[in-house]
Structure 1
Amino acid sequence: MQFLRMQKFLPLLIALILIGSLIAFFPFHKHYVFIDNQTEETAAYLPVESPYFQIRYTHSIHLSEVIESYKVMENNELMMTELEYEDFNIGMPSNAGEGETFVEKDGKYFIKNMTRKVPEFRLFVGDVDAGLSFVTKGHQMDLKKTLERGKSYTFRVERLSLFQLRKGVRFDER
């Protein structure tokens, strides 16, 4: 009798272990992810609720705000869609590229209709008191409060499992 109970219980136990493992280790949801370039560990993440986001920062030389706008493509590739800035100085474009539109409005310069695609990009969090924010779905998160100053990170979109989410800091938890 005991053996018959064990024969029924064992497959159920194995099925529960497999389902639990699937839930813990299978990457279900897309996340914006910042990966520490030294350790290659997930430093911070945020669920992708909108495919549109911006990186806002203060340019290190002319100290004016720059806004880079992006869209997440179906294959998780990042497409820069617009660039907004206030100065033509070092490091900023003076005109639009092929197929793009250059607009000057209210003392600001815009390059619109951009379709520059990259799988990921590097971001250096400087150890200076200048703005650096991640903006999506109306929320602006100060990257200098979440990420370590003086370090570089790789930014990309990827699916994370529950196990992987334990390793980083969720932006909206800080």
Structure 2
Amino acid sequence: MRYISFSCVCCVTIIALFIFLVPVNTALVFYKENTDKIEAFLPLEKGDKFELVFTHSIHLTDVIEKYEITNELSIKQNEIVYEHFGIGMPSNASAGEEFTMEEGKYHIKNLNNIFPSINIRNGKTVSKNRLIWGEEGEHLVWFNQYFEQGAWLKIKVEKLTLCKYLRGVMIDGEGK
């Protein structure tokens, strides 16, 4: 009887350790400021692409930053799309990059910027930040659906434990 009880306790302990300590689900995680408090997460895998779209505070036009998740779970910036030069906007491409104009918008392509994390602020005055993902960019959510206006967020790609996954706020795109 003691053997069965000991076996049950061992099994429960192993399951609990798995739930709380073993990372199993890859996600784009949005942390509150510089803390370990998860505000929300989006389940994504290596190779998945996503876009961050914000409205430029001076020009009031959209700026689209295109990213993908690397095999090392970093964030790789591939492209920037914008309509006006000015504060915070590049005026040309660097070596190995391609600068084009398509349908009235400037594109800087072939970027190879690798980030372990990205700091972003949800707009306070002009709050039109969006997150787009999916095969053809079919999912879109407004930051205001998940984050307070003016909130500062750190975005990282991480493997979440099942416990964090179940406790967190999963971003759910209804489509464009």
Taking structure 1 as the reference length, the TM-score comes to: 0.90
Tell whether the 8 Å contact from 1:56 to 1:65 is kept in structure 2 after alignment.
yes
99 and 160 in structure 1: CA distance in 2 versus 1, 3 angstrom threshold: same
130 and 15 in structure 1: CA distance in 2 versus 1, 3 angstrom threshold: closer
Counterpart AA for 2:149: R
Tell whether the 8 Å contact from 1:41 to 1:167 is kept in structure 2 after alignment.
no
1:101 deviates by 0.3
Return 141-150 or 18-27, whichever deviates more.
Answer: 18-27
Partner residue, 2:168: 168
Q: 1:126-161 CA deviation, whole Å, 9 max, x = no partner? A: 222431011110200111120111220100100001
Partner residue, 1:55: 52
Aligned pairs (5 A) from 1:11-26: 11-26=7-22
Taking structure 2 as the reference length, the TM-score comes to: 0.89
Tell whether the 8 Å contact from 2:19 to 2:163 is kept in structure 1 after alignment.
no
Tell whether the 8 Å contact from 1:42 to 1:167 is kept in structure 2 after alignment.
no
Counterpart AA for 2:157: V
CA RMSD of aligned residues (A): 1.9
Distance 1:71 1:56 in 2: 14
Answer with 1 or 2: which has the greater Rg. 1
Distance 1:105 1:166 in 2: 42
39 and 156 in structure 1: CA distance in 2 versus 1, 3 angstrom threshold: closer
1:6 deviates by 2.1
Partner residue, 2:144: 144
Tell whether the 8 Å contact from 1:69 to 1:83 is kept in structure 2 after alignment.
yes
Return 49-58 or 115-124, whichever deviates more.
Answer: 49-58
Partner residue, 2:33: 37
Tell whether the 8 Å contact from 1:78 to 1:119 is kept in structure 2 after alignment.
yes
Counterpart AA for 1:34: F
1:91 counterpart (60, 63, 88): 88
Distance 1:73 1:173 in 2: 22
Partner residue, 1:122: 119
Task: Mark the runs of 5 or more structure 1 residues left unpaired by the alignment.
Answer: none
19 and 166 in structure 1: CA distance in 2 versus 1, 3 angstrom threshold: closer
Q: 1:16-44 CA deviation, whole Å, 9 max, x = no partner? A: 32123213431101001000015430011
Task: Mark the runs of 5 or more structure 2 residues left unpaired by the alignment.
Answer: none
Identity of aligned residues (%): 31
In the alignment, does 2:61 pair up with 1:73?
Answer: no
Return 8-17 or 119-128, whichever deviates more.
Answer: 8-17
1:166 deviates by 4.4
Work out the number of aligned pairs and report it.
Answer: 170
